[in-house]
């Protein structure tokens, strides 16, 4: 058959090191509190107006290379504890609850609020009046999340609203995800740092605009204003190429015991694969195999697969055919099966049938 003819053919990548097959870091974490600012000339007026704010943080948020907008994501109740009263409905900036109007009315100050802290003119005192109080009292309290992005207020609000109620992969329950609390969001984003699918959903809008989360983090176990640092968590530059999928959560994202059980499950899968494919995997370090299994479980877990046997097959296929092997289907049927709303078992059977129609040949 001519090389120009169309043929369903899979290229095996078993000769490629597993460490080169797995996805790169999806989210980058950076401590911006101690970033050396050689000059504050570009935002000199702002630095003078806001002596309470760290210069490095201001430069990151409002410097010449920063995105257009800065937003505050905060729990209204936690803010009221510092302010002494609920004030987000009367602040001078654009502010809105992420809840629907009906829910927002019934809950009042409770729940997530989005506030526009963008500055149109750094030389106008009116634009920074809200920031004085924020950096003097609220940021040091450690419950505020800052967001830096080119997305508009309405676009970002719509993006965040969809995360309030999310399905739990372990048992299918739909629970409230309190991502507007930095005590929840910071460890969650750290946990999914290598999970490209979920990182893409959290950190890039539908329009393809990156979202950087700036979170307070204490150098000690309890929140201490004197030991507070600002951690910037932003998406990798090539994360936009990752297909967009619904965000699913699992208990291992938040619970140490559940996380340990998930690690043990992945270790068992890796050990079994090494036994079943002893010849093919000879010489491969177990750490590389475990890493490939971890990424495969995360990747296909994002599609809603949680059955251990199914994940075992996906891990094996990913190990030998690459971490995104389903994208090599010239008809795109495998991707369509993964994205369908059918039951997990039905999707797995359809996926396996389609996969087994391919002619496999080893890469040279």
DSSP labels, 146-173: EEEESS-HHHHHHHHHTTSEEEBTTT--
Backbone angles phi, psi at 74, to 5 degrees: -155, 150
176 with 316, same domain: the answer is no
**Selected residue with higher pLDDT from 186 and 6:** 186
107 with 190, same domain: the answer is yes
Q: What is the mean pLDDT of the chain?
A: 83
316 with 223, same domain: the answer is no
Q: Hey, which bits of 140-249 come out as E strands? A: 145-149, 165-167, 174-176, 211-218, 228-235
Region of 322 (left: φ > 0; alpha: ψ -120 to 50; beta: rest) is left
232 with 285, same domain: the answer is no
Cβ–Cβ contacts within 10 Å for residue 78, how many? Answer: 20
* Residue 249, domain member (yes or no): no
Q: Are strands 9-12 and 359-362 parallel, antiparallel or unpaired?
A: parallel
Highest mean pLDDT among 4-18, 151-165, 347-361: 151-165
- In tens, the pLDDT along 93-104 reads 899 999 876 555
pLDDT at residue 361 is higher than 60:
no
* Residue 186, domain member (yes or no): yes
Distance, CA of 70 to CA of 105 (rounded, Å) = 26
Number of H helices and E strands in the chain, helices first, is 15, 11
80 with 175, same domain: the answer is yes
175 with 274, same domain: the answer is no
pLDDT at residue 359 is higher than 80:
no
Distance, CA of 241 to CA of 234 (rounded, Å) = 15
* Residue 226, domain member (yes or no): yes
Distance, CA of 156 to CA of 178 (rounded, Å) = 17
206 with 343, same domain: the answer is no
* Residue 248, domain member (yes or no): no
pLDDT at residue 15 is higher than 50:
no
Q: pLDDT band for position 17 (50/70/90)? A: very low
Q: Domain end: 187, 213, 241, which one?
A: 241
154 with 207, same domain: the answer is yes
* Residue 247, domain member (yes or no): no
Distance, CA of 115 to CA of 94 (rounded, Å) = 6
Distance, CA of 199 to CA of 26 (rounded, Å) = 6
Specify the range with the lowest mean pLDDT, choosing from 42-46, 80-84, 94-98. Answer: 42-46
177 with 296, same domain: the answer is no
Element (H, E) at 300: helix 286-301
- pLDDT for 21: 44
DSSP letter for 212, please.
E
Q: Which domain holds residue 42?
A: 27-241
Q: Domain end: 217, 241, 265, which one?
A: 241
Specify the range with the lowest mean pLDDT, choosing from 34-43, 151-160, 325-334, 353-362. Answer: 34-43
Q: Which residues pair with 147 in a beta bridge?
A: 71, 213
Element (H, E) at 116: strand 112-116
Q: Which residues make Cβ contacts (< 8 Å) with residue 357, sequence separation at least 6?
A: 8
State how far the alpha carbon of 28 is from the alpha carbons of 182, 211, 234, 257, 325, in Å. 17, 12, 5, 26, 25
Backbone angles phi, psi at 101, to 5 degrees: -55, -40
**Selected residue with higher pLDDT from 22 and 3:** 22
pLDDT at residue 247 is higher than 80:
yes
96 with 198, same domain: the answer is yes
């Amino acid at each position: 058959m001519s090389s120009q003819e169309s043929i369903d053919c899979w290229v095996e990548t078993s000769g490629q090191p597993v460490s080169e097959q797995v996805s790169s870091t999806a989210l980058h974490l950076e401590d911006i509190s101690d970033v050396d600012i050689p000059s504050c000339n570009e935002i000199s007026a702002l630095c003078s107006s806001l002596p309470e704010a760290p210069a490095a943080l201001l430069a990151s948020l409002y410097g010449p290379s920063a995105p257009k907008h800065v937003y505050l994501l905060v729990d209204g109740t936690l803010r009221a504890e510092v302010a002494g009263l609920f004030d987000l409905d009367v602040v001078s900036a654009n502010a809105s609850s992420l809840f629907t109007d009906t829910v927002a009315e019934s809950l009042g100050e409770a729940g997530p609020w989005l506030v526009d802290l963008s500055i149109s003119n750094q030389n106008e005192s009116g634009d920074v009046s809200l920031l004085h109080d924020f950096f003097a009292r609220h940021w040091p309290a450690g419950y505020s999340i800052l967001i830096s992005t080119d997305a508009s207020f309405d676009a970002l609000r719509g993006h965040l609203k969809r995360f309030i109620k999310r399905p739990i992969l372990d048992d299918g329950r739909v629970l409230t995800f309190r991502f507007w609390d930095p005590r929840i969001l910071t460890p969650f984003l750290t946990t999914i740092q290598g999970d490209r699918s979920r990182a893409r959903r959290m950190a890039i809008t539908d329009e393809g605009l990156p979202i950087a989360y700036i979170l307070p983090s204490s150098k000690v176990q309890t929140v201490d204003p004197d030991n507070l640092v600002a951690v910037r968590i932003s998406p990798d530059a090539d994360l936009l190429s990752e297909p967009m999928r619904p965000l699913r959560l699992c208990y291992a994202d938040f619970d140490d015991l559940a996380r340990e059980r998930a690690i043990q499950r992945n270790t068992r899968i890796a050990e079994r694969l090494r036994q079943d494919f002893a010849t093919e995997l000879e010489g491969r370090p177990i750490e590389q195999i475990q890493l490939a299994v971890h990424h495969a479980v995360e990747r296909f877990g994002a599609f809603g697969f949680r059955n251990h046997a199914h994940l075992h097959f996906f891990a094996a296929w990913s190990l030998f055919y690459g971490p995104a092997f389903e994208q090599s289907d010239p008809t795109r049927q495998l991707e369509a099966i993964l994205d369908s709303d059918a039951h997990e078992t039905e999707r797995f059977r359809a996926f396996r049938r389609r996969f087994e129609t391919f002619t496999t040949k080893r890469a040279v």
